[in-house]
Structures are given as C-alpha cells and as structure tokens.
Amino acid sequence: MKGIPLSALLGMTITALFFLAAIFAPLIAPYGMSQTIGDVWEPASDAHWLGTDNLGRDLLTRMIYGGRTTIFVASAATLLSFTLGAVLGFTAAVYGGWVDQGMSRLNDLVMSIPTLIFALVVLSVMPVTLPILILVMGLLDSTRVYRLSRAVAVDINVMDFVEAARLRGEGQRWVIFREILPNALSPLVAELGLRFIFAILFISTLSFLGLGVQPPMADWGGIVKENREGIVYGIPAALYPAVAIVTLSISVNLVADWALNRTTSLKGGRGG
Amino acid sequence: MHPVLTLVIQRLALGLLLLLAASVLIFVGTEILPGDVAQAVLGQGATEQALANMRAQMGLDQPAYIRYFQWLAGAIQGDFGVALSNRQDIASSISRRLGNTLFLASVAAAISVPLAIFLGLLAVRYRDRWPDKLISGITLTSISLPEFLLGYIMMYIFAVQLGWFPSVSNINAGMSFGQKLNAVALPALVLTLVVLAHMMRMTRAAILNVMQSAYIETAELKGLRRLTIIARHAMPNSIAPIVNVVMINLAYLVVGVVVIEVVFVYPGMGQYLVDHVSKRDVPVVQACGLIFASVYIGLNLVADIVSILSNPRLRHPK
Amino acid sequence: MADSDTLLEIRNLRIEATVYAPGEKPKNALIVDDVSLSLERGKVMGLIGESGAGKSTIGLAALAYGRGGIRLTGGEIRLNGREIRTAGPGTLRSLRGREVTYVAQSAAAAFNPSKRIMQQVIEATLHHNLCSQSEAEARAVELFRTLSLPDPETFGKRYPHQVSGGQLQRAMTAMALCPHPDLVIFDEPTTALDVTTQIDVLGAIKAAIHETGVAALYITHDLAVVAQVSDEIMVLRHGKMVEHGTVQQIIEAPREDYTRALISVRAIEHEEKKPTAEPLLRADNVTARYGAMAVDVLSNVSVDLFAGQTLALVGESGSGKSTMARVITGLLPPRGGDITFEGKPLPPALKNRSREELRQVQMIYQMADVAMNPRQTVQTIIGRPLEFYFNLRGRKRNERIQELLDAIELGKGFADRYPAELSGGQKQRVCIARALAANPKVIICDEVTSALDPLVADGILKLLLDLQKREGVAYLFITHDIATVRAIADSIAVMYQGRVQRYGTKSEVLSPPFDAYTELLLSSVPEMKLGWLEQVLATRRMESAGN
C-alpha cells in the first residue's frame, strides 16, 4: 500500500469522514432530527451553523441525518447491484454459450429503457418504502455492473494464463476466484465508487421528485424539495445538499481514479 | 443487395424488436408487480366495492396479455386512453407537452452539441496543458452534481441574485419565439451543462483515439499542416465515434429533461410524468414511459446506423 | 565540412524521453547517446540492433521527428547541408514528405482506412506542389509496376483493407518514393510479413531503390535481411553505436563481440536423434475446425513424437500449426482422428482427461507476459503445479521450487517477484519452470522464442536442449522460423494450409529433392551472405520462365 497519491488519500479521508458522520449521526447532530427549534429559515448563527429550514428545524441536524439516510440507501443499493451484477457477469463470462446469450440480451433490454424512467414506472405502482427503493435502485443499476464485470471477465478469460490453469485441470472455482477475480478487482473497485456516486445522485433525485425517502425522514434530496420555495427569496437552504453531494462524490471519484490507474499500471511492461 | 443495406435493415428490425420488448417490460412493470393498481389508485381506505368497480373500469378483470395487446394496438394508433385522475384524453395532453419538451431539448442540444465538440477539440489541441485540465476539472465537478441541484444553483445565481431570467419557465402557445427562448433560457442552460461535461469528455476521448493512430503520424511525416491533418485524416474517421457520443448524450438529455422540468415548473412531458407517478395514474405513466423509451432507443439506433454507414470496411467490401 | 555528396550527416546525436514507470515519478531516460553517422547520396545504410537499441528513434530523427514523449536533445542532424534538429515547424513541414519520407513497419496501420490508396500515395507529392495530379498518378502507377503490384493501373482505386499485407507494404514504399525524395527511412518494413511474402517485398524494395537511385536508412533487427539491401551497416545497442562498416566487413569480419554474437545466432550444434520403435505421442489423421466455420483448419494430420526428442511443426501464419497444439491439449476436440499417448488414446475433450493425462502434456506460450497471472508471485506460479499434481506443501514445495529455479538458471531471490518485475527472457524461463514442475513427458512449445530478441531467444533454446538432455522430456515445437527448427528439431513436419506438406527426420526434410512449397519456404529464409537475394530471385525467374 505504499505510494498512495495525495489526492487518493484526501479522497479516502473525506469519504471516511462522511461515513463516520452517517454512522454516529445521533451523537454528532446538535438537535433532534424533527425537532422544531426556531423560526422558519433563520439565517446562520452560532446556535444554528447553517440556519433553520422551512419548518424551523436546525438545518445542520437535518443535513447530518439526511446524509445518514442518503448514504445508507445508496450503500445498500450499491451493495445489491454489485453483488448481483458481478456474480451474474462473471458467470456469463466463464460459462459462455446460451447462459451468456440469454442473460446478456435480457440485460440489453432492461438497459434500453432509461433508468430514471424505468424507476418512475415501477414506483408508480409500488409502495415507496426504503426496502423497495433499495431494491429498485439496486436491480436497475446491477445492469451496468453486469455489463462491466462481464466485459472485464471475458477479457481475462481468454488470456493465456487462464488457459494454462484450465490445461492444468483446475476447476471452475479456482479459475474464477484465483485467476480472474484478482485481476478484475481494480476495475471493479473503481466501478464500485462510480456506482455509489450514481446511487447517491439517483436517490437524491427520486427524493426531490417526491418519490424517494418520505418525510419526516431527512435526506439530501428531500432537503432540497422542502426548501426549494426559499430559493426565490434568496434563501440558500436548498443548496447545502449540493455542497455535501459534490464533496462526497469528488472524494469517492479520487479514490476510484486511483484504483483504475493501478490496474493499467500493473499490466504495464517490465518494472526494474 | 449491398451488404451495408442488409446490415442497416437488420439493425432497424432489431431496434423495432427491442422497442416491442421494452413496451412489454413497461407494461409488465406496472401490471404484474406485487402492487395492486386499483389499490394504488384508490389508496388503503378504499372499499371492496370501489376496488371492484375500479378494476372493471380499468379492464383489470381481463387477462394481462389481452390488456397488453389492446394497449399496444391503441398506442400504435396514438390512442393511450384516458387519465384515471382527471378523465382527460392522454394523447392530446401529451401532444401539447411533447412539443414543449422537444423545444426545450432542441434548444439545449443546439447549444451543447457544437459547444461540446468545439471544447472537445480544444482539449485535444491543448492536451495536458491548462485548458485541458480546466475542462476536466469542471467536468468532474458537474458530473458529481445531480441535475436538479445544478438547476437550483443556476436559478439562485441567474434568476434570484442577478435577475437575468425568470425563475419559473412558463410557456404557452401565444408567446413569440423570442419570448419562448427567454422562458427556456435557464433550463436550457442547465441541461447544456448537464450533458456538456459528458459529451466533451467523450468527444475528447474519441478524437484522441483517432489522433493516436499510426496514419496520423504518416500524415505528419508527409509534412501536412496540423489543421489539414485533422480535417482530411482525423475527421472522416471520427464521424462515427462523435455521432455516437452525441446520440448517447441526446438520449441522456431526454432523461435529464424530466427532472429539470420539475425544477423550473415547465409544462412538458417530464412534469406530466412525475405528477402522474405521484397520483399513481398508471395509463399516463405507461404512455410517457413508452414515449421516453422510444426516443431513447431511437437515438441509440441512429448512432448504430451511422457507425455502420461510415465504416469503410463495410461500405467497400473486399 | 562534409563533401557535397553527403546527404545526411548526424553528429553526436542525443535523444531523451520521459518514462512513466508504474507507481513512480516520471523520469528521464537516455534513448540514444552520442551516435554519429554520415550517408552519401544514393547509398543505403542498415541500422541494426535488438529492441531498445534506439534504431527506429534514430531513423525518425532523420525527419527531425520524435514519437510520443521523445525529444532530440543534442547534437547535429544535417540534411542536404542544413541543420534540421533545431529547425522550426515550417522548415520541417517543407522537408518531410519531400526530401525525406518514411515507410513504417505496419502499413496496415499507417494507411488511413477511409481513403483510397491512390489518394494517400500521391498526397505528399501534391501537397508540396511537385507536379500535377495526373503526373503524380502516372508516377504512382509506374511505381506500382516497379514494385510488382497486381493490376498497377487500378490498384490505387482500392481501399487499404481490400489488399493484402504484403501489397500494402509495397504500396507504402510507393507512397514514400512518389515525391522523388532524397532519402527514405525504412523502419522494419518486412518484419510483420510471412517469410515467403517477405522475400518478394524485399526484392521489390531493392529494385525500387536501385531504379530511383534514392538513399535509404534501412532499420531492422535481422542482419541477414539488412545484408541484402544495404551498402553499409551500423550495429547499435542500448542507444550507442557498437560497430560500423561495409556489409562485407560486418558479416565476414566483425570486430566486436556483440556483432559476432548477432551473426552466430541460432548456430546451435544439435545432433539429430533417430526415431525409436514406439512413439510417445501420436496424432493420427486429425481433422479439426473452429465452431461453425465451413472449412477445416486441419485436414488429415498424422505425426509422431518420440520420447526425449523434438518434433518441429513449421509453417507460416494460417498453416494450422497452433491449432494442432489446441487439438493435442484437448482445447479443441478434433472432428476426426485420434491422439494417442503411450499407445492409449487420449480423450478428445479437455474436461474428460484425467489429472494424470493432463500432467503428462504441458504447454509453454509465445507471450510469456500474458501466460502468467500478473497477481501471482513466481513462487505461486511454479508452486501451484507441485501442489496440484503432487500434493507438495510447505518446505518440500519450496525446496522443489528452488531446484526448478536453479534448473532455469535464475537462482535465488526470484521466488518472491511478480512477473512485471522480470525481463522478457526471465519470464519465459519461469514459464518453462512451471511446465517442468509437472514432470511431464511432453512439453508443447508454441512459438516460444518469436517474441524475444535473437540473443535472448538463443539462451532459451540452449536451455530447452539442455533440459531435454537431463530430464528426457519431448518437445512439440511450433514455429515459423526455419533457423530455430534447424537448431532444435529431431524431426520436422512442414505445414501448409492445414495439411502436412512434408514430414520426416530433420535431415530428410531439409535435404532435396523438395516439394514446391518446402522449396519455396526454405529458399525464402534470408541467408547471411552477399547477393543471396538476387540469386534466389534469379533462380525463381528462370524456373517460372522454364515452366
């Protein structure tokens, strides 16, 4: 783990801080999540660092709890999409033939409808609860992970060292876990970062449209929705989530970039 | 028949098949999922009698495949039935709003496509120098923001603080073209920013890929000027990848429109769709979903066909 | 000052590049160090060396061009009497494509796929306003004819993908000669071609050089090739000049050890072993094709491999020699015929073979780079067959690994390295050790030396012969290179279009009378003597006239 570039370290630190804040939200937040403690849209002060929201709740508290919900939903959806997408993608690549054909064509079909539109169609008949949201987001996004992990695994699967393992008589398990997976890890980790960012943006968008996390629970997209009226009066309460989302996604991006660069450099020629 | 024509026809047929499959998927998504449509429409408090009436009225007492074919036959003729929430004809509501949405999307496309290609070329020309780095920095930031937040930031700056544009984009048939342009200026700007980053990045990658080919070096070693090389040798081979980039981003733009319309309360398809998702108005959602999906599939199809047509190996077979 | 006949004068050239090593800060590397050369009008100089010698870089320096991050940082490059290293872009544009032109190794990549060949051949001529379009086209057709391209009148109307690799390479030569340049840089123009195509292209290039009286720098790693076209030769190594002289002096009386080593490459003494009674591995009437393809890639191939001996399968690309390896290993079950090992038939498909059957036949690949998992250490790579076949663990396994490392002459300290930390030759040695770890009776060697520099390849061949002597292992040696075959084989099967064209012991196969293809193949292999090319081409012309 030597020689991690500064940018990646910075990314890791900030990402870690966000996750810590999410986990320990009740300890860090200065007030209760739905506690009304002041006037509507109070400006920033010593008591309320970010001011108050449209119902007179402390905005910093809402942001911290909102981050907790957003990060939790996004992480769960990413975990689901990743496990499902990667396992199916690897299976398709290693088995090939009709297994691959069937799964890949079905995947193409689901991907032919824009994710947001598909999600809206499904959410129009489903009850909007956290498990349903996670399920819908995870399933839809697993198509992207499937496509990538299949492509990566197909590339590795035709390499001579995999053939050498097959000629030795190694079983499917050794081939997947010892030959293919270690070489696919870096691009997959980079993709994990990108999918996580996408999930954050996606759940925020759904909540903003009123089809994601439901009040009184706080989440970053919801905070924008609740405080949007304020914008016209010059009250920036709705814009704070932007700062949080941008900071988090750039941090994750920095880590993902580094993970991706590591892949390319390992394939490189002779080093010393 | 010329092999390219065969390929194009095959691709078109495949696109049609995909569209058909997508329509099944949309229908299945709203009909067979565990949620009960009638229950969803009427809410938890509905009586058994009301639910039964609702089901009969929606044709839910018939088997799903029959309802699918009825729905599809209607959709092909431009008949999407009536909305559950206000009993209005869906097709006529959509046609008005579709025009608005296409107007907004075209304005955004008219700005973003030339701009993205220009900036992409600029980034290639000044590769790894400050203009390239500035452009990548901005793209990284804008990729990290959801569309709606970008919308509010722009609104806060340009409508509220500077007062250049209206913060709500109302548009109606009585407005002149200029007035319409002024009304959509802000949402179009936001949409442009949303797709610009991706489009520029991908254009840059596509052109760089071509510029690194050995035949560009050959041209350089003939003593040709940089601009001649780009125009004569790089461009003919970049058309397919660039069209591909543009189409992918136009498809992306069509989805971005949905959210931006809600932000600026713009009377288009996106707003219509989101409203009716909240109202659980399934026929409207199905209709809008199908239209968005067709546009998306159509744009991707155009990209595929252009890349077939511009491939010299296919156009001039051995 | 140089006399007026001097076309190109390079003095104390120094070329540097920025190297981006993985995980390290970019650093500066010296690519060419203090090289001087001088070329007279109408003369051809060969630049020769192994990879990393800087020969292509020097060639491009004659156009004042640096590929990628390469910078010409010192010395003088004078072309037609004026300094070009420090010249501005306008001057460079006026001389590139007019005074100096370039022929690349891969014409397939160097031609723009979306433009007709003629357009590209005459582009530089028109760009520099040297003549009218119709004159340029007439000149191109004339060059196509000189270069023996088919249908010279209409050849230019085709697109690059519509002609063969050898034809495209000749078209690139026409492109370079069209503007009547003073100097052409040939950068490994025949390296990517099959040997029987190479000789035609080589002959065409030589005739064109002779007819136009152009001067040339001819860059290659093959001394025998360069001896046919050059007047003088410069030997390079690690960016420095080793030796410079006339062709005759270099090949007949080299002064430096390195040059001598390059000349004596593949001159390995190997006594041919006679077939024994029972073959170890026998392919009987094997026929095979890939997937749904309509034609057989192999038809009725029968060959025998005897214990402790080497059978060479030799042929050009598309001959089916590598497919044979896939059939024997079970990766491609044949459509007909049998593979028998020690008298017992081997199951056709890999998945039906027992672990013991798999152990007996091991494989070494052409590209050692991709034949090893980059995430495993040498220890794991060599150790896995020991665990898998012999259940060796712990200390016993590590001792055996060290034995194997000693056998491939790598010694201590290599066990913990990753493949990326090894040189090309070392990688191939580790692959050999992995194959040996299974204690097999047969090792299939698929072009194992083709990706290596000649001297390194020589080392690998010597190692393989040595191991055969000690361990008694048999090799099925697949190669396109006749010199390698001569060095290592006991028996030979010449393959052409999926069939065995000629088969027998080495002395039988390589002695006349030959069949037509074997004759063509053997006579096409460049020999390191003056006038060889003319001799062969003259013989061929006479034969075809006689027919």
Per domain, the residue ranges of chain A are 6-22+58-262
Asked if C99 and C182 count as a contact pair (C-beta separation under 8 A), the reply is yes
The whole-angstrom separation of Cα C341 and Cα C9 is: 63
d(CA C26, CA C17): 10
On whether any CB of chain B is under 8 Å from the CB of C128, the answer is: yes
- Give the whole-number percent of chain C exceeding pLDDT 90: 51
Task: Assess if residue C272 is contained within a domain.
Answer: no
Q: Using alpha carbons, list the distances in angstroms from residue C120 to A162, B216, B318, C176, C230.
A: 43, 12, 19, 10, 28
Q: Confidence band (pLDDT; 50, 70, 90) for C435? A: very high
pLDDT of residue C475: 95
The answer as to whether C371 is a domain residue is yes
Total count of domains within chain C: 2
With CA atoms as reference, report the closest residue to B209 among B232, B228, B234, B226.
B234
Burial bucket for residue C191 (CB in 10 Å: 0-12, 13-18, 19+): middle
Do the domain assignments include residue C308? yes
Task: Give the per-residue pLDDT at B58.
Answer: 67
Identify the residue whose tokens are 């981050």.
A67
Q: Which residue has the higher pLDDT, C292 or C208?
A: C208
Contact B221, C102 (CB under 8 A): yes
What letter represents residue A175's amino acid?
V
Asked whether residue C30 is domain-assigned, the answer is: yes
Domains of chain B and any CATH numbers: 93-271 (1.10.3720.10)
For residue C319, give the CATH number of its domain: 3.40.50.300
| Structure tokens given for C505 | 């012991």
CA distances in angstroms from A252 to A16, A246, A249, C274, C401, listed in the order given? 10, 10, 5, 67, 42
**Quick one: which of C101, C180, C179 has its CA closest to B217?**
C101
Q: Quick one: pLDDT at residue A267?
A: 40
C contacts of A182 (beta carbons < 8 Å): 373, 375-376
Straight-line distance from the first to the last Cα atom of chain B, in angstroms, rounded to the nearest whole number: 15
The answer to whether residues C320 and C412 belong to one domain is yes
Among chain C residues, CA nearest to A180? C373
How does strand C281-288 pair with strand C298-305? antiparallel
User: Do the chains contact at C422 and A270, CB–CB below 8 Å?
Assistant: yes
CA B199 to chain centre: 13
Question: CA dist C330 to A98, B29, C133, Å?
Answer: 22, 47, 58
Range(s) of the domain holding residue C355: 281-511
User: Looking at beta carbons, which pairs linking B38-44 to residues 24 or more positions away fall under 8 Å?
Assistant: B40/A124, B40/A125, B40/B280, B40/B282, B41/B84, B41/B280, B41/B281, B41/B282
C231 in a domain, yes or no?
yes
A159 CB near a chain C CB, below 8 Å? yes
Start-to-end CA distance of chain C, whole Å, equals 56
Does some domain include residue C270? no
Positions of chain A with pLDDT lower than 70, given as ranges: 1-3, 48, 262-272
Mean pLDDT of C526-537: 86
Show the CA angle centred on residue A206, arms to residues A203 and A211, nearest 5°: 125
DSSP string, chain A: -----HHHHHHHHHHHHHHHHHHTHHHH-SS-TT-B-S-TTPPP-SSSTT-B-TTSBBHHHHHHHHHHHHHHHHHHHHHHHHHHHHHHHHHHHHH-HHHHHHHHHHHHHHHTS-HHHHHHHHHTTS---HHHHHHHHHHHHHHHHHHHHHHHHHHHHTSHHHHHHHHHT--HHHIIIIIIHHHHHHHHHHHHHHHHHHHHHHHHHHHHTTSSSPTTS--HHHHHHHHHHHHHTT-GGGGHHHHHHHHHHHHHHHHHHHHHHHHHHHHSS---
- Contact (CB, 8 A) for C83 and C205: no
C527 inside domain:
no
**Element of type H or E holding B283:** helix B282-309
Highest mean pLDDT (candidates A125-129, C236-240, C531-535): C236-240
Q: Which residue of A has its CA nearest to B17?
A: A109
Helix (H) or strand (E) holding C246: strand C240-246
Contact present, B142 and B154 (Cβ < 8 Å): no
Return all residues near B139 (Cβ < 8 A) that are at least 6 apart.
B196, B197, B198, B200, B201
C180 & C292 share domain: no
Query: What pLDDT does residue B34 have?
Result: 54
- Residues C36 and C180 occupy one common structural domain: yes
- Residues C301, C176 share a domain: no
> With a cut of 50, which residues of chain B have pLDDT below it?
none
pLDDT at C328: 94
Residue ranges in C355-393 assigned as alpha helix (H): 355-360, 368-371, 378-390
Q: Does B141 touch chain A (CB under 8 A)?
A: yes
Choice among B205-209, B252-256, C153-157, C541-545 with the minimum mean pLDDT: C541-545
Residues of chain B contacting residue A224, judged by C-beta atoms under 8 Å apart = 148-149, 152
For residue C370, the distance in angstroms to the closest alpha carbon of chain A comes to 6
Query: Which fold would CATH assign to domain A6-22+58-262?
Result: MetI-like fold (1.10.3720)
ipTM confidence: 0.82
Residue with tokens 């691009």: A187
- pLDDT tops 60 at residue C146: yes
Q: pLDDT tens for residues A120-165?
A: 888 888 888 899 899 999 999 999 999 999 999 988 988 899 999 9
**C59, C107: one domain:** yes
Helix (H, G, I), strand (E, B) or coil at C517: helix
Residues in contact with C140: Cβ distance below 8 Å, sequence separation at least 6, in sequence order: C118, C121, C122, C156, C174, C178
pLDDT in tens, C170-202: 899 999 999 999 999 999 998 888 888 888 889
Helix-strand-coil split of chain B, %, nearest 5: 75, 0, 20
Strand pairing of C298-305 and C232-237? unpaired
Residue of B nearest to C185 (CA): B221
C48 in Cβ contact with C220 (< 8 Å): yes
Q: At what angle do helices B130-143 and B177-211 cross, to 10 degrees?
A: 120
Q: What integer pLDDT is reported at residue B308 of this predicted model?
A: 85
Q: Same structural domain for residues C247 and C307? A: no
Length of chain C: 547
Residue C2: its pLDDT value, please? 44
| Average pLDDT value for residue range C345-359 | 92
* Predicted pLDDT at A81: 93
Q: Counting one residue from A and one from C, how many pairs have CB atoms under 8 Å apart?
A: 65
Q: Using the predicted structure, report yes or no on whether residue C86 has a pLDDT greater than 80.
A: yes
* Residues in B touching C112 (Cβ below 8 Å): 215, 218-219, 233, 236-237
Residue A1 pLDDT: 47
C233 lies in the same domain as C323 = no
C519 touches chain B (CB under 8 A): no
Give C93-130 pLDDT, tens digit per residue. 999 999 999 999 888 899 999 899 999 999 999 999 98
CB B80 within 8 A of CB B287: yes
Mean pLDDT, chain C, integer: 89
| Tokens matching residue A42 | 């109070």
Under 8 Å between Cβ of A163 and C331:
yes
At residue C142, the pLDDT reads 92
- On the question of pLDDT at C25 being above 70, the answer is no
Per residue in C359-392, pLDDT tens?
999 999 988 888 999 889 999 999 999 999 999 8
DSSP designation for C96: B
Residues C297 and C206 grouped into a single domain: no
pLDDT of residue B285: 86
Chains linked to A by 3 or more Cβ pairs within 8 Å:
B, C
Residue C474 is predicted with a pLDDT of 94
CA distance C375 to C418: 7
Partner-chain residue, chosen from B22, B37, B263, that has the shortest CB–CB distance to A109: B22
Question: Rg of chain C over CA atoms, in angstroms?
Answer: 26
The crossing angle, in degrees rounded to 10, of helices C133-146 and C195-212 is 130
Does C365 fall in a domain?
Answer: yes
Q: Is the pLDDT of residue C20 over 80?
A: no
C372 neighbourhood in chain A, CB within 8 Å: 161
- Residues C294 and C245 placed together within one structural domain of the fold: no
Mutation target among C63, C106, C123, C173 for the B interface, most CBs of B within 10 A = C123
The strand pairing partners of C46, in sequence order, are: C218, C233
C442-446: strand order across its sheet: C361-364, C442-446, C474-479, C310-314, C491-496, C499-505
Q: Read off the tokens for C323.
A: 């497919």
Q: Strand order in C336-341's β-sheet?
A: C298-305, C281-288, C336-341, C344-345
Q: Residue A115 in contact with residue A141, Cβ under 8 Å?
A: yes
Whether the CB-CB separation of C108 and C160 falls below 8 Å is answered with: yes
Phi, then psi, of B211 in degrees rounded to 5: -65, -20
Residue ranges with strand state E in C306-440: 310-314, 336-341, 344-345, 361-364
Tell me what pLDDT residue A58 has: 81
The answer to whether residues C179 and C49 belong to one domain is yes
Option in B30, B141, B255 nearest A116 (CB)? B255
Considering the domain architecture, whether residues C342 and C448 belong to the same structural domain is answered as yes
Q: Do C173 and C62 fall within a single domain?
A: yes
